[in-house]
Amino acid sequence: MMVCRMTELRRRWSSLALVVVPGFILSPLWVLAVSAEIAAWRLLEGETHPREHFDPLWKLAYMWEHPLHFPLAAWTALTVWGDRLWQELIGILGWQDILLPPWTYFVLTVFLVLVPLQKLNLDGAVRARVAVITGLAVLGYVVTVYLIFFLTYTPLNVDHVRGVQGRYFVMALPMAAIFLASMTNIDLPRGALATTAIAGSLLSGITSFQALLVTHWSVP
């Protein structure tokens, strides 16, 4: 019995590693290969910053000597531009200049919170483990996004992490939904969840079309 469990565990970890490990290897290699060269080039052309400020390896060495610089820069970016990031996550169209009606962001936020409220068929210990794992995964993703932009796009004389947009966190929403479901474990009517999800999709599509129509095709 124990041998079967160990074999099954190894098989699962092998499958997980097959999916995850290439991402851990290729992502930093890509950053090192290009060093966000286009973005760094634009900053170097428009402003006067030393080139090493956009070198990930040099910046990592700097972080080793100044460990509080990155956390403070990330915290400043979150506290000052956090509300804007959430709007971007919901949707700001065009060149970040076409906003949806203000009430749309509130309603879609409520819908996003309601949809994950489902009861997980797990016992308490497993559900707690799921909550911890998914919570750490979401936190790790957010930190990684800010770290990448700190390493490749943020000069040292800037007090916040530059370049982060709300759309970069869309990929973390499914994991955040699992975290919320495992924390609340509320069993809402299935029809209500489906209705909420469909209503949110329709609302976002209609308001996006209306905002683009007013901006680009309305007669002044």
Q: Where are the domains of the chain?
A: 65-216
Q: Tell me the two tokens of residue 20.
A: 């995850």
Tens digits of per-residue pLDDT, 45-62?
656 777 777 778 888 999
Tens digits of per-residue pLDDT, 122-171?
787 888 888 898 899 999 999 999 998 898 888 888 889 988 998 899 98
Close Cβ partners of 119 (under 8 Å, ≥ 6 residues apart): 181, 185, 186, 187
Q: Is the pLDDT of residue 71 over 90?
A: yes
Tens digits of per-residue pLDDT, 194-210?
888 899 999 999 999 98
Instruction: Please choose, from the candidates 64, 61, 55, the residue with its C-alpha nearest in 3D space to the C-alpha of residue 153.
Output: 55
**Higher per-residue confidence, 139 vs 11:** 139
- Low-confidence winner among 19-33, 76-90, 130-144, 158-172 (lowest mean pLDDT): 19-33
The stretch 158-187 carries a mean pLDDT of 88
pLDDT of amino acid 8: 61
Q: Confidence class of residue 3 from pLDDT cuts 50, 70 and 90?
A: very low
The stretch 89-107 carries a mean pLDDT of 88
- Low-confidence winner among 18-27, 108-117, 131-140 (lowest mean pLDDT): 18-27
Q: Confidence class of residue 104 from pLDDT cuts 50, 70 and 90?
A: very high
User: Exposed (0-12), middle (13-18) or buried (19+): which is 151, by Cβ within 10 Å?
Assistant: buried
